[in-house]
Structure 1
Amino acid sequence: MSVFVDISPTPDAPAEEPAADAPETRWRARLSRAGLPLLSVAVFLLAWQLAAASGIWNQTFVPYPSTVWRAFVDISTTHDGVRGYAGYLLWEHLYMTLRRVAAGVVIGVVLGVLLGLVMGSIGWVRSVLEPWLTFLRALPPLAYFFLLVIWLGIDEAPKITLLALAALPPAAVATTAAVVAAPVGLQEAARALGASRAAVIRDVVIPSALPETFTGIRLAVGMAYSSVVAAELFNGIPGVGGLVKDASNYNNTPVVLVGIFAIGFSGLVIDGLLRAVERRAVPWRGKV
């Protein structure tokens, strides 16, 4: 005897929805992530073009996007016997700026993270150094840059020192806060299992603090970038900050905007690289 069971869906049964990780869904999400930034850029360029064409502002203040593009091409090439700006191409200006930023950030971040580990682990050190760190964070770069020039001259030393001092406080503060917030239960469990103080810091505190430390590093890079124009006020050519400062002396707004965009776009690229490194180094962020 055979039994036949009708397993066809009833007419009112809901249709199966595509899986969340279906290829179409992933491609739609990727297109959305890429399309929205591009759309925002297009809207910005359109608003800029309309503002320049309105005639409300003089071209010295709001040049056309095409004028800025021509300035970009001129700075990036040799034309009419003139090589770039002040004898250097744009990529050479950017290279010198990035080299200074890299040196300052490495020094500032390494010292800041080490200082944060010590301050987060030893209470009396935190009590002694925290007011000085807050004092340094509150100072704008120009407040002490001229003092650095008096002490160190106008070559590379004051520039790199300024960028290091700008990068140090965010890294130190973020690391200190992360170390202090490390789970006490995990630390006590490690000690109960016989781990030494150094082992607890290495195996429990540092992995727990890494996510916030990376946030501090990204903030440190941002602070260094925001200080780069100040760092290149003196003898800053070649350098994007020196280019911006020199062009502003002659009200050369297109060149100033090219320099600003160069700093901003390179900052976006570096921040993206840091986020990629963070995803690799701290895959557990947001999952525990």
Structure 2
Amino acid sequence: MKVLLIPDKFKGSLRAEEVILALSKGILRLAPKTAIFTVLASDGGDGFLDTVNHYKALDKVEVVTIDPLGRRIRSYYLYDKTNKTAYIELAKASGIALLSPSELNVMETSTKGTGIQIKDAVLKGAKQILIGLGGSATNDGGMGIASVLGYRFLDSNGNELRTIGKNLVNVSHIEREEGNLPWQAVSFIAVNDVSNPLYGVEGAAYIYAKQKGANSSQIKALDHGLQHLSSVVKNTLGTGDALLPGTGAAGGTAYGLKAFFNAEFISGIDFLFKMAEISSLLEEKKIDYIIT
């Protein structure tokens, strides 16, 4: 018998590698002659870099950045010098796993730490950046990332705002640095398997903000804020389709990547299955059972 295991992580309890180990032990205890094949899966969220690193020998680049609440931390991303491609996992600097349950406060969190990582990759010469979305502690519409890469978010008095969830509704104008910015020659790719729009009953706030610490009134405020941001982006920059499936990923980070950096959206699981060459595995090994 041939069995293929394709688990993602069990969020909050097991990494994908640990799921594989547990399943393998159980299968072999009852059927010792079973041939077990494995593929690490990730939808672009937690474990994205672990999965990429499993299939590609890449450089690990350490960066001093900040967590969702602005505290200094060390994190990393992966870099392919040959193809000048960086792989960044949003959860490594802006993730919910970086905060204790008592610290969850989506009104005060930002993706700025992920922006610092992206800027580092751009300055190192990256021409393509793949950003795995998911597991975020944020709902800032990607403003945090954008603020590191040349954008300023201003209130009605022209004061620069902190790029946090509660300030979405206070954005009156968006400015971008003049001249050719380094990232303008970079291709951005948002990797995720979320189909939610930016706002509305199926949007980022209503579906995901509760697990990030928001109460019902805050969820309504965040949803209104995301809708407001999209209106300002449209009027100021002429970009952004807030109802495009997937824009709600990672608290609207996917929307921000699309609106501010013209990012392409790709399916996380399709991307990683291609990397793992799963089609060839299925054809060559004649698998009897798949567990996922």
Q: TM-score, normalised by structure 1?
A: 0.22
Max Rg structure: 1
The structure in which a higher percent of residues are helix is: 1
Q: TM-score, normalised by structure 2?
A: 0.22
